[in-house]
């Protein structure tokens, strides 16, 4: 009889354990589903701040350099102060550009100035702010192979950004580094400008 009761208790305990694990698994699956849903592949995000009335348009980080030794990304943001710019005229807002460099060793960016060459026409942004190498910027996941990173911030006018986005051949000099912006990046920049100019 004792053996029978022991066997019943064991079966009940196993069943309870199975139900608990199944419930936990379902919760994790739901959370993962939300995270996957949030990552919809959109590179441009436009949101309105209900408190200030301003509209903020963001371009997610775009990879400019992606090697095992060095990763460089560029993101952009503009804040439209409660106005509509459907025709794109009379807009003097500054587009804030943020560059994050992650590397195994500190990268020397020379004069730390930002320049663009759009269809052989020069566009100078000026000096960038930042440049302190920090282990806190080494990144997560695959980027964690880097020892640290550096963040720089600069800006261009909206009219300059429109010229860059509409260019056919666009080159950029970031300090001592010279890069060519590919069609995929230019397409994302055009989407960014369209989002600014739309109602």
Tell me the pLDDT tens digit for each residue of 137-179. Answer: 766 655 468 888 999 999 999 999 999 999 999 999 999 999 9
Angle at 194 between CA 193 and CA 198, to 5 degrees: 120
**Pair 163, 68 in one domain:** yes
pLDDT class of 48 with cuts at 50, 70, 90: confident
Minimal CA–CA distance to 138: which of 178, 109, 106? 106
pLDDT at 51 over 80: yes
Domain span at residue 155 reads: 44-197
C-alpha pair distances (Å), 80 with each of 12, 73, 77, 84, 131? 62, 24, 10, 8, 28
Structural domain count of the chain = 2
Torsion sign over Cα 162, 184, 81, 172: negative
Stronger pLDDT, 7 or 121, i.e. the higher one = 121
Quick: pLDDT tens for 76-102: 999 987 554 544 444 557 999 999 999
**Pair 18, 101 in one domain:** no
Least confident of 4-8, 20-24, 74-78: 20-24
Euclidean distance between CA atoms 140 and 149, whole angstroms:
12
**Pair 28, 125 in one domain:** no
**Pair 24, 62 in one domain:** no
**Pair 125, 165 in one domain:** yes
**Pair 92, 147 in one domain:** yes
**Pair 74, 2 in one domain:** no
Please provide the average confidence, as pLDDT, over all residues in the chain: 77
DSSP 93: P
pLDDT at 33 over 60: no
**Pair 65, 12 in one domain:** no
pLDDT at 71 over 60: yes
- pTM score, whole prediction: 0.72
**Pair 53, 31 in one domain:** no
């Amino acid at each position: 009889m004792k053996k029978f009761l022991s066997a019943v208790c064991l079966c009940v305990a196993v069943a309870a354990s199975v139900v608990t694990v199944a419930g936990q698994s379902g919760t994790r699956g739901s959370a993962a589903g939300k995270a996957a849903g949030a990552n919809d592949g959109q590179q441009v995000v436009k949101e309105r701040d209900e408190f200030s009335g301003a509209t903020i348009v963001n371009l997610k980080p775009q990879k400019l350099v992606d090697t095992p030794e060095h990763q460089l990304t560029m993101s952009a943001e503009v804040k439209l102060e409660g106005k509509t710019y459907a025709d794109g005229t009379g807009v003097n807002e500054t587009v804030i550009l943020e560059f994050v460099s992650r590397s195994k060793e500190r990268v020397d960016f020379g004069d730390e100035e930002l320049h663009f060459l759009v269809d052989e026409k020069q566009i100078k942004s000026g000096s960038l702010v930042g440049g302190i190498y920090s282990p806190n910027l080494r990144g997560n996941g695959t980027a964690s192979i880097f020892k640290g990173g550096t963040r720089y911030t600069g800006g261009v006018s909206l009219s300059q950004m429109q010229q860059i986005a509409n260019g056919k051949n666009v080159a950029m000099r970031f300090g001592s580094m010279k890069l060519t912006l590919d069609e995929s990046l230019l397409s994302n920049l055009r989407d960014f400008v369209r989002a600014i100019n739309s109602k």
